[in-house]
Amino acid sequence: MKSRYQRRSNSIVSRRSLAAATSLVALSAGAAFAQDDTPAPVTSDQIIVIGTPGGAGADRQAASFAVTTITPDDITKFSPKSTADLFKSIPGVWAESSGGVAGANIDVRGLPGGGDAPFVLLAINGSPIYGTESLSFFEQSSIFRIDETIEGVEGLRGGPNSVFGKGEPGLTVNFNLKEGGEETEGLIKYSTSDYGLQRVDAVLSGKLADDLYYMIGGYLRRSDGIRDTQFTSEEGQQFTVNLTKLFDNGKVNLFARWTDDHGQWVLPFALNTGNDRGEFAQLGNATRFRDIQVNSNGDTETFDFADGRGWDGIVTGGSVEFDLGGGFTFRDRFTFMTGDADTFGFVPSGSAVSAADLSAVIGGPVTTASGQTLGASDFVQTYGHWVVQKDLDAVINDLSINKVAGNHDITVGFYQSNWSADDTWYLGNPIPVHNTANGEPLHSAITPADIAAAGGDAGFSFGLESAGDAHARALYIADSWQVIDRFRLDVGARREWLDLDYVLDTGPGFADGTTDLATELDGEEWAYTFAGNYDVSDNLGVFARYTKGFLFPHFDEIREGRNQVDNVKQVEAGVKYGGDWLNLYATFYRNTNDAFSSTVGGVVPAAAFKTRAIGVEFDGEVFFGPFSTSFTATIQDADITASDTVADIGNRVLRQPRWQTRISPSYTFEAAEFDATLYGAVTLVGERFGDNANTVTLPSYEKIDLGILVNHESGVFFKAHADNLNDSHGITEGDPRNPSAPNGRPIFGRSFLFSVGYGF
């Protein structure tokens, strides 16, 4: 008996739809060479979209690049608390999901980051969701939520994506939506937890008319959060529609995804004050609302910091794919997104100090706004209410023509993207608070300057208004040449042009009405890749690849005077094995990031540095009867090879561990009317450094998860999941604003999730 989750994920796409999709794949991605006189290459049953020209699709086992596939069953067992949390199952990726449902820091293969996600791109059905990877207070996982509408996930590191689509040299994560089939199918699920979660998920799919299929689904959720803020700190809803129309020679797909979801932005906090590292939240009812000055006239506005960090917007798009005859295939993928990705955070500034030390400064007792007198051993700290309002828009299109000519599979494509970001910031706004869970502000007579005099920090105030618009155009060409029966060459090149306009007005805590920067930039760059893939046997394949890619600067880098082009060069070599009891993908990589090599506008950045990373990734699964164990692992050495800060040369790249692994065993057993799967996961993370100076050590840690899935033949199912069962307090980052402060952000503490549902 298959589990209910497996049956659902395998059957949600109609056989006719799958057959049509597979026939189109056969026109483009290696299967085109399975002619009468040419043996078929090594294949599996996993068709991937990402990393292929125009999103043509390819068999994973035949791919000449490193890609990880994640099924709905994998997602169920992982039980991610955010989109970025799921990325921990992709080797080569370091995802700090400890910040909440949005606002993760994500790094890839030793490439320099340390904040947001400068080398990470997200896509839906193969189409990017925004024009650039990351902005200040924005990384793309913040505007995507995982739910039951997801059919599968693909995570590609390096490889050919520097050439195709957006041209991402780091990590591209593609979420494929479920499609309807001939039969009506669906699911409804209720979830709760020990931290007050109330969530309902639903999905329904089927047939609207001949060759016209639908899928609709979404969720509603409310939660106090593991880090309890005394109010509902996580809430949201999402609704997705996906329509598919099949034709004799092609397919048209349209989707729309409405999201309004946010959660507390969890930040580093004092680690030396005895607060619970798994559950502590400084924000509470006493600090939830704050009046903040918004202009030089002295006007104020009240902000609700329960809004945290999240996304209120829509991402819609689709694809068109037709066989034109004569070996030609036309493809077009497009996206439109618009919405608000705002941030409301309660941010620490400097170290916590004892009430005794503060008392010595002010010459009297330390009291709170409500009149409570603190003891000498209590702690106080300066915090700031930060407001970032970010209005985002993007229109993206990727058009390609594919031609199969003998043993050559040639694609020519044209990519265009227009995107914008309009920002309003009110940062800093310091206030002294009692450093305890949900602590209240101190008496108004006590100032941040008093905290600073006691050994803490006085905080700051900074604000801005900015508007940026950008337009990227790119031409790319690729050829997949089956040289002999078992050997294939894949080559590609891309030429991209960027036009960017940016206007900035800064001020003390708000824009002062004077334009500080008005920039118009034009840039153009080349990217290229070439790879060889050899099928040793029907089960074993190897590949080698060289890629040169790049990142153009985004709006905030220009604001900070860092308008360089990041040139990324990467060598990869991989082994792929698919057998009866073992699937294994192992990839060696070496990359360099050269921030000195070229600039847009001729301005050399003030704090540029180069990096070099060498590593190996493992991604596999072992089967033995009812037992199976999946595993991922990354071992790497990432160093700074050149820097304007001479003392940093030779140091390790900040935040990323030299090794990390996740081992996930499971055991399935059956009874008369049900099947059940016991599963677990052990995550091991090595030591890291919180800064490029390597002065802040973040210790290694381990995390254990455990769960059970029970599926009844009636369609009823149940899940119980324990996350961080060992209540690990692993630190993901120090204080990025003040590395010397003893602040850090631990992972979430132990929690329990329960789900019950019905699938049909």
Residue 39 has pLDDT above 50, yes or no: no
User: Average pLDDT in the 723-749 region?
Assistant: 92
Residue 351, pLDDT > 90, answer yes
Q: Quote the pLDDT of residue 562.
A: 78
Tell me how far apart the alpha carbons of residues 492 and 499 are, in angstroms, rounded to a whole number. Answer: 24
552, two tokens: 């153009």
Q: Which residue has the higher pLDDT, 645 or 177?
A: 177
Q: Answer whether 170's CB lies under 8 Å from 109's CB.
A: yes
CA dihedral 602, 606, 607, 609 (to 10 degrees): 30
- pLDDT at residue 535 is higher than 90: yes
How are strands ordered across the β-sheet holding 120-124? 66-70, 150-157, 171-177, 120-124, 127-128
Cα torsion 723, 654, 738, 309 to 10°: value is -50
pLDDT band at 664 (very low <50, low <70, confident <90, very high): very high
Specify the amino acid at residue 439. Answer: G
Asked if residue 177 lies in contact with residue 215, where contact means CB atoms within 8 angstroms, the answer is yes
pLDDT of residue 35: 33
131 pLDDT more than 70:
yes
Asked whether the predicted pLDDT for residue 604 surpasses 80, the reply is no
Give the lowest-confidence range in 196-205, 342-351, 561-570. Answer: 561-570
Q: Kindly indicate the confidence band of residue 179, based on its pLDDT and cuts at 50, 70 and 90.
A: very high
- Residue 662: pLDDT band by 50, 70, 90 thresholds? very high
Please report the pLDDT score of residue 137 as a whole number: 95
Q: Which of 403-417, 603-617, 670-684, 690-704 has the lowest mean pLDDT?
A: 603-617
Instruction: Quote the pLDDT of residue 594.
Output: 85
Give residue 51's pLDDT band: very low, low, confident or very high (50, 70, 90): confident
CATH code of the domain containing 734: 2.40.170.20
Residue scoring higher pLDDT (44 or 404)? 404
**In sequence order, what are the beta bridge partners of 262?**
235, 310
Map tokens 């598919």 to a residue.
244
**679 — pLDDT class (breaks 50, 70, 90):** very high
DSSP classification of residue 17? H
How many whole angstroms separate alpha carbon 73 and alpha carbon 611?
37
* Domain count across the chain: 1
Distance of alpha carbon 107 from alpha carbon 120, whole angstroms: 8
Domain that includes residue 217, residue range:
4-759
37 compared with 439, residue with greater pLDDT: 439
Condensed to tens digits (0 to 9), the pLDDT of residues 55-109 reads: 777 788 888 999 999 999 999 999 999 999 999 999 999 999 999 999 899 999 9
> What stretches of 303-447 show up as alpha helix (H) in DSSP?
355-362
Q: What percent of the chain has pLDDT over 90?
A: 84
> DSSP letter at 42?
P
Beta-carbon contacts of residue 704 (< 8 Å; ≥ 6 apart): 680, 681, 682, 683, 724, 725, 726, 728
Q: Could you give the C-alpha distances from 612 to 116, 226, 569, 570, 643, in angstroms and in order?
A: 20, 38, 10, 10, 12
Using pLDDT thresholds of 50, 70 and 90, give the confidence band for residue 641: very high
By the 8 A CB rule, do 83 and 70 touch? no
Instruction: For residue 200, count other CB atoms closer than 10 A to its CB.
Output: 14
Whether the per-residue pLDDT at 545 is higher than 60: the answer is yes
What tokens does 722 get? 């324990």
pLDDT at 53 (0 to 100): 82
Q: If you average pLDDT over every residue of the chain, what do you get?
A: 91
Q: Which pair of tokens denotes residue 693?
A: 């100076």
Q: What are the residues whose beta carbons fall under 8 Å from the beta carbon of 159, sequence distance 6 or more? A: 51, 64, 65, 66, 67, 529, 545, 547, 572
Identify which of 157, 95, 149 has the alpha carbon closest to the alpha carbon of residue 125: 149
pLDDT at 125 over 60: yes
